[in-house]
Amino acid sequence: MPTTAPSCAIVIFGASGDLAKLKLIPAIYEMARERLLNEHSYVVGFARSKMSEDDFRKECNDAIRLNARSKKAIDEGLLKSVLNRIHYFQGDDYGSAEAHQKLSEFLTTCDAKYGNAEKNRLFYLSTPPNAFEPIITRLGERAKDPDNNPPARFKRLIIEKPFGTDLASAKHLNAVIHKYFDEEQVFRIDHYLGKETVQNLMVMRFANSIFEPIWNYKYIDHVQITVSEIVSADDRAGYYDNSGALRDMVQNHIFQLMALVAMEPPAALDAVSIRDEKTKVYRSIRPIRPEQVDVFTVRGQYGAGTHGKVTTNGYTQAKGVKPGSGTETFAALKLFIDNWRWSGMPFYIRTGKLLEQKLSEVVVRFRSPPQTLFQKQCESPVYPNDLVIRIAPEEGISWRLNGKVPGGAMNIKPVALDFNYKTAFKVEAPEAYERLIYDAMVGDQTLFIRGDEAEAAWAVIDPIELGWRGSKKPPEPYAPGSWGPKRAMDLIEHDGRRWMQAKEGESEPIVACSL
């Protein structure tokens, strides 16, 4: 069982933003409910919005009641105790030396009030990326000055993505960080790594002897990774138009999933060993040169239409989108990892906005069995085996096998053996941010991204971005509610394969059996 984290001041920069209300404050309440939050810890929200402390606490109260995992059974006494330890600090400029001086003095007062004797600090940067450098610089300057800031047991940074917008900016950000902080103090957060199923990927692979001997190109035909969304980018088009699906989702979330699937067994289950192996995966990816982007990649933009509750005039008509924008709202790639385990075996990845359904999953498709045994008398095809690791909307694992249909004929149909977290363990998995904030408090970096890891991922993305900027093919339009542009289907179907989820996809009936 996890133990209570050390006491610390949790300083959230950008505390008036959506992330704090939707995820961070509810996660802190849940940590208190699980007795993981030290009673001497407290929260200081730093933001530029003019707001009283009472108003901020009211927003936090509403956020917990609306978004906490246990919102249907709020502990009123605990909630009051948590809210009483939440403060608000307003500053007009995140990089203001004066504001940081006053913040430091305020934290010293709170340390005495709440008994945070060790003066530990956890700084959470939940701000726009352009605020990272001034915040880190000011925090670093004060950390280096013992006269203004007494030494603490620990000072740690949690930094939200994006970690740069390309390799050069990622290197620059790392240089700024390392000027003031050691890598052991830095926690680059990708909330996907906090999800139970993502963590279970390592357990599934390395704690079950049936998988590792066949976890290679000799037995696996290919791997598919899909992260699809049903929302549009219209509401945040000003930001999204400078990012796009490749930078927003592939470089971080999807690459993290791919690395966990493809990595070699680590020497130990510690942060250094695991992140070493993930970084090796990125460095082994066969580069897609700019002139190859039309062969190995697809980019698309959703057009006008309605899907579910979302109606759009098309991405290019959204407020904040530059005229004639070539920013992709959909991206698909075919990648090869050039090492002995995965030699010549493709990884197909795709992500996009306004697709048919909300879905995050990894499909490991094994090679088809020899057909000679069944082809003379079997009236139905023999399908390949699939291992489906589902991250959202329901977390679980499905193993698709072939079974004989009862009757005199030799009919074969797939049978899905399903493992669902909620039904198997009779508990609701903690939210990703609960686990990640706790890990940062105790100093466990296993589920966070290392600086060189982020740079290695950007080194794969940069040539693709360069190729897209120079390509004569604009993003291919696709209809809201579809599975993306036709060329995304061609990317895999020209290899004689199909996406697991496709409009005309694998429609064979599957018999589900819960484990």
Secondary element (H or E) of residue 54: helix 53-67
Gyration radius of the chain over CA positions = 24
The amino acid sitting at 74 is I
Dihedral over Cα of 224, 228, 234, 238: its sign: negative
Task: Please state, as a whole number, how many other Cβ atoms lie within 10 Å of the Cβ of residue 372.
Answer: 7
3-state secondary structure of 206: helix
Dihedral over Cα of 245, 95, 175, 269: its sign: negative
Cβ(501)–Cβ(363) below 8 Å: no
Cβ(485)–Cβ(478) below 8 Å: yes
C-alpha 50/C-alpha 495 separation (Å) is 57
- The two three-digit tokens of residue 315, written as one number: 């991405």
310-312 and 396-404 strand pairing: unpaired
C-alpha 262/C-alpha 347 separation (Å) is 10
Cα dist from 287 to 69, 221, 435, whole Å: 42, 21, 34
C-alpha 155/C-alpha 499 separation (Å) is 46
C-alpha 474/C-alpha 301 separation (Å) is 9
Cα dist from 398 to 181, 361, 511, whole Å: 43, 11, 12
C-alpha 153/C-alpha 138 separation (Å) is 19
What are the helix and strand counts (H, E) for the chain?
A: 17, 18
How many Cα neighbours within 13 Å face the side chain of 132?
A: 23
Q: Could you say which of 100, 253, 307, 494 is catalytic? A: 253
C-alpha 140/C-alpha 444 separation (Å) is 21
Catalytic annotation on 191?
A: no
Catalytic residues: 253
